[in-house]
Structure 1
Amino acid sequence: MNKTIWVIIVIVGALLVSAVFNYNTLVSINENVNGKWSQIENQLQRRADLIPNLVTTVKGYAAHEQQAIQAVADARAKLAGAEGPAGKAQADNELNSALSRLLVVVENYPNLKADQNFRALMDELSGTENRIAVARKDYNDAVQGYNVKIRSLPTSLFAGMMGFGPKEYFQAAAGAEQVPQVNF
């Protein structure tokens, strides 16, 4: 055989091996991002499951504070129906705001703050908030690694053809950086 044909065969073979390697790497990284997203949803669900118990406990002490209690219930329902990182982030911020208003109500009821069930629920909620923050960070780190990979050569040459596009970061909604105003 001609030397040129062997060179062409070697080049085509190297390209095929590179394409397979890059595809497998992208699949692995993509699944890592999906797994990290599942952990965010898992922790959001954990918090959503704790909230009805918290609301029930507060209701017993502050029955006339229905507006704050209803806001938490509505925000929780909105979070359950939210789609994608942007929708979840927006709904999560609304729930955080509603919970903040509910905690202002709690401040007006010292007996409630002393209640053992309430304290246990608040500890669980606090731990869950920390888990959510860690899950968000892990997800955004995974998205960053994935997005860098699909935009770097030579993977970027194959990524688009193989259907791998950039992933969306979990971002706080506009205005989330501002401290909420609490007026009595």
Structure 2
Amino acid sequence: MQMQRYRFTWQLTVVLFMSWLLAGCGINNIPQYDEQVKSAWAQVENQYQRRADLIPNLVETVKGYARQEQDTLTAVTEARAKATSIQISADDLDDPQKMQQFQQAQSQLTGALSRLMAVSERYPDLKSNQNFLALQSQLEGTENRIAVARRDFIAAVQRYNTEIRTFPGRIWHTLMYGDMPIRESFEATTENAEQAPQVQFQ
């Protein structure tokens, strides 16, 4: 009985020591970094949704002062509809085609918003409207948040990809996490897309 208790204690000690040793060797890094990538992507989507939520109010405000700019207003509305129709789940992060479609739709919406802002310059009453000024501030803040969220996502993807391509992460990836592929990063689809667009309301 005493011998069995001693053997059990010894086995438990060995198991705990091996667990500690493996944890220290980075065996958990890959799933942790993978979760960070997914979390960072959720923030990217959250900020794009925040922008999309501002657009209907912005369009309605501009429409009140510039009804004759119907083509521009329609372009913004259509670009918003297309951008919000493309959803990227955590499983889609490994699909370059879906990621590219998402990025292109968001880029088109950014372009349509820029044209809407240019139109607003021709209407002094619109530019001084308090609702428009509040939307301006929110939109500028959101564009900055989008830029930060995208930067954080790119950093998370880089950390994850580096881990599974270098020692000892490459070993753990081969032995235990072979079904977790290289992640696609958020590539700029327009010039200077890594920077927040300069939305001017002057």
State the TM bucket, normalised to the shorter chain.
Answer: 0.7 to 0.9
The match for 1:121 is 135
One-letter amino acid of the structure 1 residue matched with residue 191 of structure 2: A
Paired residues of 2:40 and 2:156 also in contact (CA < 8 A)? yes
- The superposition leaves residues 20-51 of structure 1 with CA deviations (integer Å, 9 ceiling, x where unpaired) of 96442211111111000000000000000001
The match for 1:31 is 35
CA distance in 2, matches of 1:86, 1:54: 27
* 1:98 and 2:112 are equivalent in the alignment: yes
Q: Per-residue deviation at 1:133? A: 0.4
- The superposition leaves residues 87-137 of structure 1 with CA deviations (integer Å, 9 ceiling, x where unpaired) of 222111100100011111101111000000000001000000000000000
- SS of residue in 2 equivalent to 1:143: helix
The match for 2:186 is 170
One-letter amino acid of the structure 2 residue matched with residue 123 of structure 1: S
* 1:72 and 2:76 are equivalent in the alignment: yes
Q: How many residues are paired up? A: 166
Compute the RMSD of aligned alpha carbons.
2.5
CA distance in 2, matches of 1:21, 1:166: 21
Q: Which residue, 113, 135, 139 being the options, matches 2:153?
A: 139
5+ residue gaps, structure 2? 1-13, 89-98, 198-202
Paired residues of 1:19 and 1:158 also in contact (CA < 8 A)? no
CA distance in 2, matches of 1:45, 1:105: 24
Which segment is superposed worse, 120-129 or 88-97? 88-97
Q: Per-residue deviation at 1:155? A: 1.7
* 1:88 and 2:102 are equivalent in the alignment: yes
The match for 1:59 is 63
- Runs ≥4 in structure 1, deviation > 6 angstroms? none
CA distance in 2, matches of 1:157, 1:137: 28
Paired residues of 1:43 and 1:132 also in contact (CA < 8 A)? yes
5+ residue gaps, structure 1? 1-9, 180-184
Give identity over the alignment, percent: 47
Q: Which residue, 157, 164, 183 being the options, matches 2:171?
A: 157
Paired residues of 1:36 and 1:139 also in contact (CA < 8 A)? yes
The match for 1:182 is none
Q: Per-residue deviation at 1:158? A: 2.9
Taking structure 1 as the reference length, the TM-score comes to 0.81
One-letter amino acid of the structure 1 residue matched with residue 102 of structure 2: K
Paired residues of 1:90 and 1:172 also in contact (CA < 8 A)? no
Paired residues of 2:29 and 2:169 also in contact (CA < 8 A)? no
- SS of residue in 1 equivalent to 2:191: coil
Taking structure 2 as the reference length, the TM-score comes to 0.75
